[in-house]
Amino acid sequence: MKIVQTINELKKAVHIEKKNGKTIGLVPTMGFLHEGHLTLAEQARKENDMVIMSIFVNPLQFGPNEDFERYPRDPERDAKLAESAGVDLLFMPAVKEMYPEEPAVTLTVHKRTNALCGLSREGHFDGVATVVMKLFHMAEANRAYFGKKDAQQLAVIHGLVDSLNVPVKIVGVETVRETDGLAKSSRNVYLLPEERKKAPAIYKALQSIKTAVEAGNTNTETLKQQARLRLENETGANVEYVEILSYPELEPIKEAHGTVIAAAAVKYKHARLIDNIILTVKGRV
């Protein structure tokens, strides 16, 4: 596996592959890799000739009071893990390389952000869209891989490629979970031992929505109230939101019909965790 830090080196490597008609799968990450990221890389490995992973903690997507400085970083461990997952080229640019000066143009996302994490993380998805667009161009990716755990991010990126006709196929990959159901996340390391014990209640509350919907209870207000109560009692955390929305549009709905997302965000002392499940509910009445 080759490791490069500059855009020039990345582009040189990409051009050689492209000249030979090879396909490129891009896995954009912010590092501190876990099994979720490795699953993305493994899927990219199966579907492309060359797999590029980027590791870049993107300052543009962090608010002033968020965890940019203390976001966990471990480049050496990441490099070993990326190699084991079949990555051919690891792109690890410095902030100065990606943003040598304040960008003259950045992207603004107009839809799918007025809900869920978009409400409390102002400008976050503009920062994500901007960096992802830069990476798509640099890597000349045929396919790009994103986890379904960040379902709002995935919806925004689908919107980005559709709106701007970006010639990249977006591949959404299933959430990887711990054996007790907790979604894998780089931020799980911030959980205190007591919090970690209770955190699987997030997924359980989401599953209880699924069970209720499957039993025919589709009123979203009732479903949300019941799930919120459960989250408050069982997670030991502050519940930021529990929502049921259309997916990928992320519009409010009264009844859970069609493709819907049930999503929750809870705040522990040092970590804010999100999780979701996407359901297809048949039989509109």
Distances (CA, A) of 163 to 108, 110, 231: 12, 11, 36
Q: Give min distance, CB of 1 to ligand PAF, in A.
A: 19
Contact characters 132-151, ligand PAF, x per CB under 6 A: x-----------------x-
Interface size with ligand PAF, residues (CB under 6 A)? 10
DSSP characters over 7-29: HHHHHHHHHHHHHTT--EEEEEE
3-state secondary structure of 125: helix
- Choose one: 84-92, 110-118, 127-135, 241-249; the region binding ligand PAF (CB under 6 A): 127-135
118: contact with ligand PAF by CB under 6 A:
no
Whichever of 113 and 153 has its CB closer to ligand PAF, that residue is 153
30: contact with ligand PAF by CB under 6 A:
yes
**Among residue numbers 36 through 65, which ones bind ligand PAF (CB under 6 A)?**
58, 61
Q: For residues 247 and 260, is the Cβ–Cβ distance under 8 A?
A: yes
Q: Give min distance, CB of 32 to ligand PAF, in A.
A: 10
Cα angle for residues 34, 65, 26 (degrees, 5° grid): 35
Round to whole Å and give the CA distance between 140 and 24: 7
Question: Residue 52's beta-bridge partner residues?
Answer: 26, 89
Residue whose entry in the numeric block shows the structure tokens 């049921």? 244
- Choose one: 126-134, 169-177, 234-242, 251-259; the region binding ligand PAF (CB under 6 A): 126-134
Which residues carry out catalysis?
Answer: 37
28: contact with ligand PAF by CB under 6 A:
yes
Q: Are strands 143-147 and 169-173 parallel, antiparallel or unpaired?
A: parallel
Tell me which of 29, 175, 235, 276 binds ligand PAF, using CB under 6 A: 29
Please report, as ranges, the residues that interact with ligand PAF according to CB under 6 A: 28-30, 58, 61, 128, 131-132, 150, 153
